[in-house]
Chain A
């Protein structure tokens, strides 16, 4: 467990000192919101409300992929990745530390982008803030689990920034559907539906197990 905490702490401190990843992700998320706003025909308010959950998750997903692309970029310098691989613990715990750091950074970006999204699209997200935060946390858990695993993979391929979305998007479909359906229930009627929540929980569990075990094989000796 100390390995998890140490890696989480290291990543958060590095991020806090430079703040470049979080700032880049947040600015990108705001730009996506603006692009989406202008891409859609100016419609009625209830129409936008219906689209809002899907658009919100597109924003979050794109920002997450942008950030995940950088999750291991720093570790490539000075062979830090080999150091991580030599950590005196199961590599699954190294994965948990990295994924937790990604989760925290993504959460901060999501909070900022969510407020901006609510203002831009005229959707009152604050009224359902607490259950929505829970849904966002579950969705992010799924994104950060396989995201961290395949970020460690894609960073050592050619065309790394191109490779990660190609790997991740087909896998993240159940997370996206669960998160959008759960958020739609909240935005439309303020009710937290059980079935999408169930899907998110099961998907998160499967992804966490696969990533925890799979991380063993993605670091080089």
Chain B
């Protein structure tokens, strides 16, 4: 059942390419209009509009890391490589989004807190997660053999997720003062700011899903090509001792 589910996800990812691309384009346009028309913050001015970018990116990044660990755990449990392709793709897209979070955060912080960085628990945990998943990608790049690199990465990804609650407690203990706003409750945004924010979340999640699906598509094509090359008789085209640029 596991294999069926995983390959179904991959097929859906490939088939949804055009619809998700169109939806992403439309939603992004709506979001841009909404952000442009959203009222200016009375204290922070135009800088506050980064609200419509920064937290949505963070949600997508956390989703990516969660999926990477989940895919890894499922791979270890079921042994189906499709789960590993999901984990690898989610980690890569997650790192991309987290990089944007780590860049947009300090820009906002500089304008509102007066400095680029604070060792606030949420900032620190996000930064450490970014490092964990950068190391995860490096580990994959430096390990030979796709099955082995999948196992190694899965174990590391799970360990990286297990450390998050410990980090929160530890940074609190080390006296990291909390500056970052807590979770937004409904109604905590000013009038006219709710819609652009929700659209921003939608755009970020859809962009994440779209990129993830493209990445999974590449990985599954690569796996199929490797399979085909392994089965094909060694002709002049496949005489490359490394198995060509697609060897994994």
Residues of A within 8 A of B (CB): 146, 149-150, 153, 156-159, 163, 166-167, 169-171, 173-174, 177-178, 180-181, 195-196, 199, 202-203, 206-207, 210-211, 214, 217-218, 220
Contacts and interface: CB of A to CB of B under 8 A. Distances in A.
B86 to A, nearest CB: 17
Interface SS, A side:
helix
Contacts of B117: none
A6 to B, nearest CB: 24
Given A166-B135, A217-B154, A218-B155, A174 B142 contact: no
A171 B169 contact: no
Contacts of A199: 166, 169-170, 173
Given A171-B132, A177-B173, A181-B174, A150 B166 contact: no
B139 A158 contact: no
Interface of B: 76, 128, 131-132, 135, 138-139, 142-144, 148, 151-152, 154-156, 158-160, 162-163, 166-167, 169-171, 173-174
Contacts of B148: 156, 220
Contacts of A171: 132, 159-160, 163
B136 to A, nearest CB: 9
Nearest to B163: A171
Sorted nearest first, the 3 A-B pairs with minimum C-beta distance are A174-B170, A174-B166, A177-B170
B156 A177 contact: no
A181 to B, nearest CB: 6
Nearest to A153: B152
B156 A195 contact: no
B25 to A, nearest CB: 36
Given A157-B139, A163-B139, A174-B170, 12 more contacts: A157-B142, A157-B144, A158-B142, A158-B144, A166-B138, A170-B128, A173-B128, A173-B167, A180-B174, A199-B170, A210-B159, A217-B155
B159 A217 contact: no
A207 B152 CA distance: 16
Nearest to B76: A217
Contacts of A195: 173
A153 B163 CA distance: 18
Contacts of A207: 159
A206 B151 contact: no
A55 to B, nearest CB: 16
Contact of B166 (A157, A167, A196, A206): A206
Contacts of A146: 159
Nearest to B129: A170
Contacts of B171: 177
